[in-house]
Structure 1
């Protein structure tokens, strides 16, 4: 095992690290505890740093330096998860910068396998893995999960892909990581698409596994996907002409059908999660409709405070 990295605060940078793991949190301790518990020993083993960007202000315990010596705590109360992730990424010192979420737990050897995947694919700008559902008790939680991560549940095809998993389980070569802050922050969905359009290589690796453990509750799920849709529209508006804006507005009419096709189609074809996917399909249809309404409002009025409503 390599020597432990000491805990550090914002502005206190080590010289280098093979890996940085970025996590944004907007909730008070101990929300992030299962995530850090799954990470900290393996992060120490590979000499990685873990950057927690805290939008709550009390996302970590006062004794974080003793509990998690590898953690750098970056406090920005009031910041959205998108702003917080990009903030931490701009401060990361790793040759590889990985991202996961505060409600996720990573599989054993995730850090080592992430580094190994990048060694095997020096051409890759980004590498994503498998995301599995850890909130399986209620159909609304299945709907919430499958809309975002359905295409990235096991099995996935390892190798070069046009799309890879998002903020729960993705990593980037440092050369493509933003060096300065943008207005709204980082949305991996759009960032990954931009990399692909620029001709960069995206790799999927089925050995990288994360469990996504999130429950918004019944009404909270609909609200979250409305805010997610409005946030996506707000991010797009930063680089969108009026003509494109009008096209997107019109497209919101068929967006629910499109979203069902691209997110549920891969799940149904894989068949492994066929039962929960079919059982939750009516709820999923309602949730993607809320998403479409959010995008429609976003293209008219901008993101508002929707980015701050997501965790």
Structure 2
């Protein structure tokens, strides 16, 4: 099922990869559809479950791309191939975007033509437990307010990132939509911008087991994708670094929270959770550098 053809090339393509059935995507779409339509944009739903949208629903500016069993990385690559906008934005199925998000993305890309990747603020929308906060702070904490708008080395991830389509190769791999892709862009000297006016709320509550699993699979996926581009000596160095990675991740998260002067008590009370989650991530990276990504990309949402 696809939406109708546009008479003109859209200004903006918003790509959402999901492996969850409806109605997980509902609140995200509710926050997006009208504003994307207002800027003559398109929303591309790359669906690895096959049931992300209700069968009886037709959206005027939505393209639906089902591929059963695909990972979110593969799905984003499919979405990128289908995207027709000069600007492509990613968000996630468990995120809600601010009412002016689409408009601000276009304005910022026009204002900063030299910046190929533009990202923004990510705030926590799952605040019911310390575990939920710890999960958010470790993965998204550097992007919560306050942030200093301007050029950055920070990789905000797929919750709130947009880029100019011309930087994307026509021959995409799954890794071309993950962290190693952004790292390669940085090594090539491309400019990244982060701006306080781009706001997304990240709403993800996974429970204890789910939280440990997703950080393990995320770590293995990142390392597995990197592994393909590493020499043997660099791979050995990365393997060795996994021994100190848990401590580094804990210190980085705590320092981020204290520098931002937010959620200090939460991160201190949640320190046991933080240490465990960091260990899960480091274990995932170790296995990823050793044996590759395995099936972990299919288990990240």
Structure 2 distance, partners of 1:198, 1:163, is: 15
Q: In structure 2, do the counterparts of structure 1 residues 183 and 109 end up closer, same or farther at CA, with 3 Å as the change threshold? A: closer
- Check the 8 A contact 2:12/2:87 in 1, yes or no: yes
The answer to whether the aligner puts 1:205 opposite 2:195 as a matched pair is yes
CA deviation vs aligned residue, 1:15-35 (integer Å, no higher than 9, x gap)? 511000010000111110000
Shift of 1:262: 3.0
CA contact (8 A) 2:2 2:65 kept: no
Q: Is the 8 A contact 1:90 1:177 kept in 2?
A: no
SS of the equivalent of 1:94 reads: coil
- Report if the CA contact (8 A) 2:77-2:174 is conserved: no
Q: Give TM-score, length-normalised by structure 2.
A: 0.96
Distance 1:75 1:213 in 2: 24
Structure 1 residues 39 and 167 mapped into 2: Cα distance closer, same or farther (>3 Å)?
same
Greater mean deviation of Cα atoms: 151-160 or 239-248: 239-248
CA distance in 1, matches of 2:198, 2:226: 29
Q: SS of the counterpart of 1:22?
A: strand
Structure 1 gaps of 5+ residues are 1-5
Q: Is the 8 A contact 1:56 1:76 kept in 2?
A: yes
SS at match of 2:86: strand
1:90–1:178: 8 Å Cα contact kept in structure 2? no
Q: Is the 8 A contact 2:2 2:62 kept in 1?
A: yes
Aligned pair 1:8/2:20, yes or no? no
Q: In structure 2, what is the Cα distance between the partners aligned to 1:226 and 1:96?
A: 32
In the alignment, is residue 300 of structure 1 matched against residue 293 of structure 2?
no
1:56 aligns with 2:73: no
Q: Match for residue 215 of structure 2?
A: 225
C-alpha distance in 2, partners of 1:171/1:107? 15
Change (3 A) 1:206 1:230: same
- 1:255-294 alignment, distance < 5 Å: 255-294=245-284
User: Aligned pair in 2 of structure 1 residues 184, 191: CA closer, same or farther (>3 Å)?
Assistant: closer
The answer on whether the counterparts of 1:164 and 1:203 sit within 8 Å (CA) in structure 2 is: no
Does residue 194 in structure 1 map to residue 184 in structure 2? yes
Question: What's the counterpart of residue 247 of structure 1?
Answer: 237
Match of 2:20, SS?
coil
CA displacement at 1:131 relative to structure 2: 0.2
| 8 Å CA contact retained: 1:89, 1:178 | no
The reply on whether 1:43 has 2:36 as its aligned counterpart is yes
Deviation of 1:229 (Å) = 0.8
Aligned partners of 1:162 and 1:202 also within 8 Å: yes
Matched ranges for 1:18-29 at <5 A? 18-29=11-22
Can you list the C-alpha shifts for 1:244-301, whole angstroms capped at 9, x where unaligned?
Answer: 1111111100011122233332221111222322222221111010100111111222
1:103 is matched with which residue? 94
TM-score by length of 1: 0.93
RMSD: 1.6
Residue aligned with 2:60, SS:
coil
Alignment pair present for 1:176 and 2:171: no
Contact 2:73 2:174 in 1 (8 A): no
Number of equivalent positions? 301
TM-aligned CA distance change 1:178 to 1:279, over 3 Å = farther
Indicate if the aligned counterparts of 1:86 and 1:178 stay in contact, CA closer than 8 A.
Answer: no
- Tell me the CA shift for residue 122 of structure 1: 0.7
* Residue pairs, 1:81-160, within 5 angstroms: 81-160=72-151
Contiguous gaps of at least 5 residues in structure 2? none
Q: Structure 1: how far apart are the matches of 2:119 and 2:243? A: 31
Distance 1:183 1:139 in 2: 33
